[in-house]
Amino acid sequence: MTFLSGRNLGKSYFTSKGLWHKEEIRAVYDVSLDLDLENARGAGSRSGNTGLVGESGSGKSTLARLISRLEKPTTGSLRFKDEAIGDLPEKMLLPFRRQVQVIFQDAAASLNPRHTVEKILSEPLRNFFPGMKRKERLERITEIMGQVGLSPDHFERFPHEFSGGQKRRLAIARAVIINPDLLICDEVTSGLDVSLQGQLLNLFLELGDRFGVHYLLVSHDLPAVRYLCRRVLVMYAGRIVEDFPAAEMAASIHPYTRALLESEPSLDGSFSPRFLPGEPPDPSAYPTGCPFHPRCSEKKAVCSEQAPIFKKVADNHGTACHLT
Ligand SMILES: Nc1ncnc2c1ncn2[C@@H]1O[C@H](COP(=O)(O)OP(=O)(O)O)[C@@H](O)[C@H]1O
Ligand SMILES: [Mg+2]
């Protein structure tokens, strides 16, 4: 049974353009994916972790909001352990929310400034384990604070008394305190200095080992994805264009993936010489055929005429490109 699976997911936003005309922004377009956690269990701490990468505007956050059911898909279906959840009302989503948690880059800003740490960390326990006694809650709070590297003595403090890195740890604690199976992290290490980023990634690995939390790491930071994840999904123009093992970055096929890898900043902060020319397409006017063809140095005639179909090239590798 697949933990979480999407079929032909699409999300459009409509913006009004003039009085009569509405423009359709196709932020996510025909995405199918399976996140299989069961098969990954016991196979090493990174095994169930997936990275979702792509340039800004490629639809990563929208896809993250769809599969965490913060938004409903416009088209397609979403299944959680074989139950269709794409259209379920919020009150029916409790079992799903217990197992799938999300944190965003601005997670720190979502901490209520008037609530103490105890109150912030009690809330998910009250929601998901209403029968839990206060003593038990305090024990769990103390435990999780220690595990994310916050002093358990600080549970009377308010968020503003913590540094930026500590606030992110607090947001992580709030998400993992109910012991979810999947934590969707949207750019949570962005905007932090390199050493704090490294600390958070190591914290993720530790929590993964200890509690069996798996991650969907949404990031434009390829080294972070390579560090934490076994599998990489590459998004372009609202679609998944490649799905491949993180350990085999060099085996990637799609010209977009390869361009992304080549324009990745190296560890010393400098850029490798090859940049990707041009801009990602406007999601209200995708090019015909393959959406990447205007920027692709290897395009053929068919690329501007027909959209490529996603094909498997190996058990753990697939891509949507006419050149394969
Ligand atoms: N609520 C919204 N209303 C209108 N357009 C949106 C909305 N959310 C996202 N978009 C558009 O959808 C596209 C994909 O955005 P997003 O999912 O945030 O990409 P990413 O996370 O990869 O940067 C962008 O063009 C963005 O402007
Ligand atoms: Mg985003």
Q: Which residue has its alpha carbon closest to ligand 1 atom 25? A: 57
| The pLDDT of residue 37 | 85
Please report which confidence band the pLDDT of residue 40 belongs to, taking 50, 70 and 90 as the band edges. Answer: low
Thinking of the domain 4-319, which architecture would CATH place it in?
3-Layer(aba) Sandwich (3.40)
User: Tell me, what's the pLDDT at 44?
Assistant: 61
**Residue 38 pLDDT grade (very low, low, confident, very high; cuts 50, 70, 90):** low
For the cut 60, the answer to whether the pLDDT of residue 273 exceeds it is no
Helices 134-147 and 164-176: angle between axes, nearest 10 degrees: 130
Instruction: Report d(CA 154, CA 109) in Å as an integer.
Output: 19
pLDDT value at 12 more than 90: yes
Q: How remote is the CA of residue 25 from the centroid of ligand 1, in Å?
A: 8
Cα-to-centroid distance, 129 and ligand 1 (Å):
34
What the block records as the tokens of 157 is 């403090």
Atom 8, ligand 1: residue with shortest CA distance: 62
pLDDT tens digits, one per residue of 274-319: 567 788 899 999 999 999 999 999 999 999 999 999 999 999 999 9
Q: How far apart are CA 198 and CA 298, in angstroms?
A: 36
Q: What are the residue boundaries of the structural domains of the chain, listed by start?
A: 4-319
pLDDT score of 269: 47
**Mean pLDDT, rounded, for 53-68:** 95
Please state, rounded to an integer, the average pLDDT across all residues of the chain: 91
Single-letter residue type at 171 = A
Average pLDDT over residues 117-133: 96
Of all protein residues, whose CA lies closest to atom 7 belonging to ligand 1?
Answer: 13
Ligand 1 site residues (CB inside 6 A) read 13, 25, 27, 54, 56-62, 283
Q: Looking at the predicted structure, is the pLDDT value of residue 271 above 80? A: no
